[in-house]
Structure formats: structure tokens, C-alpha cells
Amino acid sequence: MKARIGFIGLGNMGAGMAGNLLRKGWPLTVMAHRRREAVDRLLAEGAQEATSPRVMAEMVDIVVLCVTGSPEVEATINGQDGLASAGKPLMVIDCSTSDPAVTVRLAADLKSRGITLIDAPLSRTPKEAAEGTLDVMIGGSEEDVARARPVVEAFAGRVIHTGPVGTGHTMKLLNNFLSMGYAALYSEALVLGQKAGLTPKVFDSVIRGGRMDCPFYQTFADYVVNRNEFAHVFTLNNALKDMTYLASFAQSVRLVNPVGAAVRNSFAGAVAAGSGERFVPMLSDFIAKQNGVELA
């Protein structure tokens, strides 16, 4: 029999992931947060509903978390009526982008209470989440990863075991450093081009299909050139959160990281200006406005 799965965090990524688990035969229990659309859809497809993390823990064997970050993970597990309050053995697969230091500490604490925590952050977009083709980086022991792998493979195209607990979240920060670094570079390059009379369409015609092209560039450019607002659904708030985790991690290992600081500041400026709920490619609009130009 397949393990009973609980899923907390039915946002842009989580809704597609949970749908894949259900369609691939995993007994699924879900929980509502602020909105019910995804919950109601999954219930209609055969999922069950829990009213709190504690109730969910009592109903399932494995819980997948896809929430914002470490504070939300800790609250879901250790908060009032949290998963741990059920007092039963459980595996928790944290697919959030969390602080590696918090993940390691939390995993050690939970182990003494019979709860196994592994980190399994994601790469790619809600489109791949719905298609079941995400990239997943897993941190945990060989035994724990082997147990989690069939669950993760329900929504993943690639699963990479990165090492012990915490290494998945560390690798995710490095992955997001690269992608958010590209976003900051694209934004400044596009604005500089516009200042020099090179439109985004001209810029795109040179980059697309060349050595600097990549799937991340393509979703970024889909917004800049075609104004597709949903080309890359990842908020500037989340980008800043991840770059802040990266700064904390760099500080913990005494790394001099001027590029990381510059990337973080690009997103911090946009968020401080009130654009936090806009999506990452829209950083280009903020940089353009700072320089007195428009890319549209």
C-alpha cells in the first residue's frame, strides 16, 4: 500500500504538485490556508481535508510542505496544533526554500521526537509543477531519501540527492543566487540598451538562440518583450527572502560576497518601493523607472 500523504502549501507550486500526487494514486490529505480554490478542486478529485496540521499528522504518514520559508515551516511543525503536537512518528518533506542552518537545527530537534525532516526544495516554475517535471534537490540520509523518493518523483522530472540534511536547501540558495543574479543582470542590460536606443525586441533578437540563451532568460524575456505578466510566477518578495537567506549563509561561513550583496540590493530596492508582490521579470520595470525610461 502507498503511504498516506499530507500536503500543506497549495500555492502556485504546491497546487500542481499535490494534483500530481493525487492523480498518481497517492492517498492525499490537504489543508486550506487563505484560499480554497485548490483545496476544493483536489477534494473533488478524491483528496481528504484536514482542519489543522495536527489533525493532518494524525491522518497521514508523510507530510509535504511547500510554504514560504523557515518561519512558516517552524510554525507548521512546532506551532500550536502543529504537526509535532500529534506526538506520532512522521516524515516531513520540506519543499520550501528555507534557511539551511534552521533546517539542520530543526531536523536534529525533531529526530528525538520520532519525526524525520528532509529538505527537498524545487527548481522550475508552476508550469512544470503542474506537469510533474520539477527539479528537486534532496538533503537527507540514504535511507530517508529512498523512502521519500517515490513521493517526490510524483511531481519531479529530476531528483538529485545532494547529501545530508540541509544540503538541499543550500543548493537551492545557490541555484536561486544564479537565477536572481541573471534577473538583475538582464534588467540592467535591458535598461542600458534602451538608453542607447536598443529596444528590448532588438536585445532579445540577439540573445535568443545564442550562447547566453537559457530557459530562465526565455521566461524573463517573455514578460519584457511580450508583456506576459505570468511568464515567471515568482514574486520579488520571495526573491528578496531567498537572497537574504543567501547573505546569512555567506556570513555564517565568512564568505566575502559582493555580487550576492549587489543582487540582494537590486531586489531590496524594488520591494522597498512597493513592488514586492510583482513577479521577478518586473524587476526590469523598476530599474527602468529608476533611470527614467520605459521598456514597454
CB within 8 Å of 122: residues ≥ 6 apart = 13, 66, 95, 97, 129, 134, 135, 136, 172
Is residue 18 within 8 A of residue 46, CB to CB? The reply is no
Lookup result for grid cell 530557459: 215
Element containing residue 53 per DSSP (H, E) = helix 53-59
β-sheet bridge partners, residue 92 = 63, 117
172 is catalytic: yes
CA 19 – CA 28 distance, rounded (Å): 9
Measured between alpha carbons, how far is residue 105 from residues 3, 82, 111, 147, 187 in Å?
26, 17, 10, 21, 37
CA 242 – CA 248 distance, rounded (Å): 10
Lookup result for grid cell 504518514: 61
Strand 62-65 to 5-8 pairing: parallel
For residue 209, count other CB atoms closer than 10 A to its CB: 9
β-sheet bridge partners, residue 139 = 119, 163
CA 258 – CA 260 distance, rounded (Å): 5
- Which of 88, 127, 172, 289 is catalytic? The answer is 172
Enzyme catalytic residues? 172
